[in-house]
A and B are shown apart, each in its own frame.
Chain A
Amino acid sequence: MAKLVSLAEGVADLVRDGDVVALEGFTHLIPFAAGHEIIRQGRRDLTLVRMTPDVIYDQLIGAGCARRLVFSWGGNPGVGSLHRFRDAVQNAWPGPLELEEHSHAGMANRYVAGASGLPFAVLRGYTGTDLPRHTANIRTITCPFTGEELTAVPALRPDVTVVHAQRADRAGNVQMWGITGVQKEAVLAARRSLVTVEEVVDELSPVPGQVVLPGWAVTAVAEAPGGAHPSYAQGYSVRDNDFYVGWDAISRDRDRFLDWVRQQVLKAEAMA
């Protein structure tokens, strides 16, 4: 049964320096509050795993939490570049950032393999691109039945996966709906998991299209209302597109970014 904890306790207990950490949520349900708590607690040398690094990893990278990034698309959706990510890659600021780069199909299948207890996943992907020349984790495998050459990528097994969901009950059963991305696979692939939720309720009423993560498959649940902002939680909030557009100017400049982190992250108390 998942433990109900505060966000600060959850991050302190489950996210450690040097960990392989996946914060997932595909545009929707991105666990920003947990990301900010990781920055506040000063985690270092993390390997950050995420299909779409998005603004959340821009913040963690700029705040100096990351040593390595495993990803498939590092942009600000609909706006442009992630400037802290770019600055880290192009200028090693605030430190060098190693990259392991994939496609979405590859990353999704790596989580599926991790969740399935398999060492690798098979897909039709990457063929003819320059990605396999730079990412050692993209190999080929011959189908034992047809002889066809296919692509193999290793399972992802994060030390800890953090996701945000709409609701949990007091036994730690987690319910999410809307665009649920790769969160189920990312949680089941990980050794430990922390789920932040909009609210903890007595009973989970069914919702069409829901994904339920049973409490016994989750390590800890923390209530963090609004914890996906500027992403959103369907049924609770809408995507703050103005924030994403405004992030471009904040993140372009190192001093302005650092000031933003001081004002908006470090000075803010952890929720709950």
Chain B
Amino acid sequence: MSGAYTADEMMTVAAARQLRDGAACFVGIGLPSTAANLARATHAPNLVLVYESGCLGAKPDRLPLSIGDGILADTADAVVSVPEVFNYWLQPGRIDVGFLGAAQLDRYGNINTTVIGGEYDDPTVRLPGAGGAPEIAASCGEVVVIVRQNLRTFTERVDFVTSVGYGSGPGDRQRLGLRGGGPRMVITDLGVLEPAPDTCELTLTRLHPGVTVAQARAATGWALAVADQLVTNEPPTADELAVLRALEATKGTR
């Protein structure tokens, strides 16, 4: 351990560790992009970063601010059109991991990034919307979600299903004809949740160092199930922290 680190840094490091070297990863902007680039700069140098702007195999040496910064196109194996990235690459199941964020998330890993509160036509908060997420969540081999855990975000029911996790439980993905595997892991600033094999319900399986089950429960808007064998994550290594901080310092620079 290398001195102090923030909960966000722990979350990003834990997420990066989940990405296997050589996997093709469809990367959303923000926390997913930071974690994916950290993974590529540490244990997974052959991670294939796919951005919805059409950049396949981008290898940025600094963090992009958007999914279409020039550094992504300049370093990509191929730059394809937007219809092509969705139709030829995502839709047939060529991407191993979809890496998403969320504004709201429920116990079955369904994600809302559309509206919060009120009615759809007259919402309390209008969020950006779907972007690529519904089809990323449907078609990637598996989905990893990175999101801060609090009562506003972790809700019993999402106000709007923008992207399907396990729907309302076991069998729903098959019934809907969704070909990807669905959420494998939700990584937060408190720990890690994984779907229980029999119920698909997100279950607390790991805590970050110093975080308690009570804290995780208090930040979850449903009765959070906790795994029998609860694991404590390793804190960020000095190397992980150094690389992450160096990356953050480059965010959006030319």
- Closest-CB distance, A86 to chain B (whole angstroms): 5
Contact with A along B66-84 (1 / 0, CB 8 A): 1111101110000101110
Contact A245 B252 (CB under 8 A): yes
Contact B179 A124 (CB under 8 A): yes
Partner of B133, one of A103, A108, A244: A103
Contact B91 A124 (CB under 8 A): yes
Contact B70 A28 (CB under 8 A): yes
User: Which chain B residues border A111 with CB–CB below 8 Å?
Assistant: 83
Task: Answer whether residue A182 sits at the interface, using C-beta atoms and an 8 A cutoff.
Answer: yes
A128-B195 Cα distance, complex, nearest whole Å: 19
Task: Answer whether residue A12 sits at the interface, using C-beta atoms and an 8 A cutoff.
Answer: no
Please judge, given known A-B contacts A123-B87, A127-B178, A180-B54, whether A239 and B130 are in contact too, CB under 8 Å.
Answer: no
User: Which chain B residues border A144 with CB–CB below 8 Å?
Assistant: none
User: Which chain B residues border A149 with CB–CB below 8 Å?
Assistant: 177
**Which residue in chain B gives the minimum CB-CB distance to A111?**
B83
State the interface size on chain B (CB cutoff 8 A).
Answer: 57
Task: Answer whether residue B53 sits at the interface, using C-beta atoms and an 8 A cutoff.
Answer: yes
Contact B129 A101 (CB under 8 A): yes
A58-B117 Cα distance, complex, nearest whole Å: 22
Contact A129 B134 (CB under 8 A): yes
Contact B81 A182 (CB under 8 A): yes
A64-B235 Cα distance, complex, nearest whole Å: 51
Partner of A108, one of B82, B160, B162, B163: B82
**Which residue in chain B gives the minimum CB-CB distance to A115?**
B83
Contact A81 B128 (CB under 8 A): yes
User: Which chain B residues border A112 with CB–CB below 8 Å?
Assistant: 83, 87
A197-B128 Cα distance, complex, nearest whole Å: 29
Which of A33-41, A66-74, A160-168, A247-255 interfaces with chain B? A66-74
User: Which chain A residues border B176 with CB–CB below 8 Å?
Assistant: 127-128
User: Which chain B residues border A178 with CB–CB below 8 Å?
Assistant: 70, 73, 79
Contact A78 B66 (CB under 8 A): yes
Please judge, given known A-B contacts A52-B131, A103-B133, whether A181 and B53 are in contact too, CB under 8 Å.
Answer: yes
Contact B83 A103 (CB under 8 A): no
Contact A104 B82 (CB under 8 A): yes
Contact A108 B83 (CB under 8 A): yes
Task: Answer whether residue B64 sits at the interface, using C-beta atoms and an 8 A cutoff.
Answer: yes
Contact A90 B126 (CB under 8 A): yes
Contact with B along A190-218 (1 / 0, CB 8 A): 00000000000000000001010000000
Task: Answer whether residue A3 sits at the interface, using C-beta atoms and an 8 A cutoff.
Answer: no
Query: Would you list which residues of chain A between 100 and 139 have a CB under 8 Å from chain B?
Result: 101-105, 108-109, 111-112, 123-131, 134
Contact A28 B73 (CB under 8 A): yes
- Closest-CB distance, A56 to chain B (whole angstroms): 13
Contact with A along B240-254 (1 / 0, CB 8 A): 000000000000111
Contact B54 A124 (CB under 8 A): no
Contact A239 B65 (CB under 8 A): yes
- Closest-CB distance, A270 to chain B (whole angstroms): 27
Most chain B CB neighbours (cut-off 10 Å) among A51, A111, A239: A239
Most chain B CB neighbours (cut-off 10 Å) among A104, A131, A178: A104
Contact A125 B138 (CB under 8 A): yes
Task: Answer whether residue B201 sits at the interface, using C-beta atoms and an 8 A cutoff.
Answer: no
User: Which chain A residues border B30 with CB–CB below 8 Å?
Assistant: 78
Contact B172 A128 (CB under 8 A): yes
Closest 5 interchain pairs by CB? A27-B68, A75-B128, A73-B131, A77-B66, A78-B65
A-B pairs with beta carbons under 8 Å apart, 22 shown: A78-B65, A81-B128, A89-B126, A90-B126, A101-B130, A103-B130, A103-B131, A104-B82, A105-B86, A105-B90, A108-B86, A111-B83, A124-B139, A129-B162, A130-B161, A131-B130, A178-B70, A178-B79, A179-B72, A181-B68, A182-B82, A241-B65
Which residues in A have some Cβ–Cβ distance to B below 8 Å? 26-28, 51-52, 71-75, 77-79, 81-82, 85-86, 89-90, 101-105, 108-109, 111-112, 123-131, 134, 148-149, 178-182, 184-185, 209, 211, 232, 234, 238-239, 241-242, 244-245
Which residues in B have some Cβ–Cβ distance to A below 8 Å? 29-30, 52-55, 64-70, 72-74, 79, 81-83, 86-87, 90-91, 114, 120, 122-135, 138-139, 160-164, 167, 172-173, 176-179, 252-254
Known: A73-B129, A131-B162, A209-B79. 19 other contacts (CB 8 A): A26-B54, A26-B82, A27-B68, A28-B53, A75-B131, A78-B64, A81-B128, A105-B91, A108-B86, A109-B86, A123-B86, A124-B135, A128-B161, A179-B53, A181-B54, A181-B81, A241-B253, A242-B252, A245-B252
